[in-house]
Structure 1
């Protein structure tokens, strides 16, 4: 049996069981490797993607939960050659040390800035809290998010919804 999902603005047909974690479908079946397996328990956020514009842990979200909804991954925001506003700011501020958490961080920040274009530092910190950076680049991550919010440049990155 196959299932269709709306992924990064395109309808995709997948063969995985609807109980399969969305993360495994993205990585193993669709070859989208931005979201990472970190803990498998929804405690680190490395696997964060947007489901109907809300951040979710794709390691805990079954494929069936994505049916009829819109899934966005880091791949929808830009590329190495043409990064989106948040991706460019993360690069500029050297927010990635090991880089493992960054796709999840960017996607969670994307969700915030799409909802609130001028968040306070307190709002940014509260929203980003579920995602962990074990390298300790939190201050650089916050600086990147602040920069994009101040510039009002997020509109340029909203694709694939």
Structure 2
């Protein structure tokens, strides 16, 4: 910045107050601040968009930051819920597999062990025997019943029924 001749420029008193404040905060004279503003306008082609009547709206950085942080908080909460549900599902599946394996091991080590029999085992036998008699009295055999059942209930329920039926008939828990 050269120190040639200085000329007087008329500005609004409110603008001059802002220039004084900037001068105090930066420790630079008002002349340097005005020069920096003009050079910035020229360097960034703001001259084309210069509208002297337009009022600039101040940017509320605190509000922008708060909104950004709240959005990030929501995204993190949703991500944590999703990951937590994934972990819970994994643990449930793992528990089922471990329990089935444990039961298989106990049965294979000692098939006569009473600790693996269900307390209602004899009741199940009784119910199954009576259901088979009921089916036979209605002129239905077991195969027709199982085939009809597959059309009435969902696939998962049907598979669970078959596994459960086979486990009860073989006196195995799994």
Q: What's the TM-score, normalizing by structure 1?
A: 0.20
Larger Rg: 2
Q: What's the TM-score, normalizing by structure 2?
A: 0.19
* Structure with the bigger percentage of helix: 2
| Structure with higher RCO (Cα < 8 A, 6+ apart) | 1
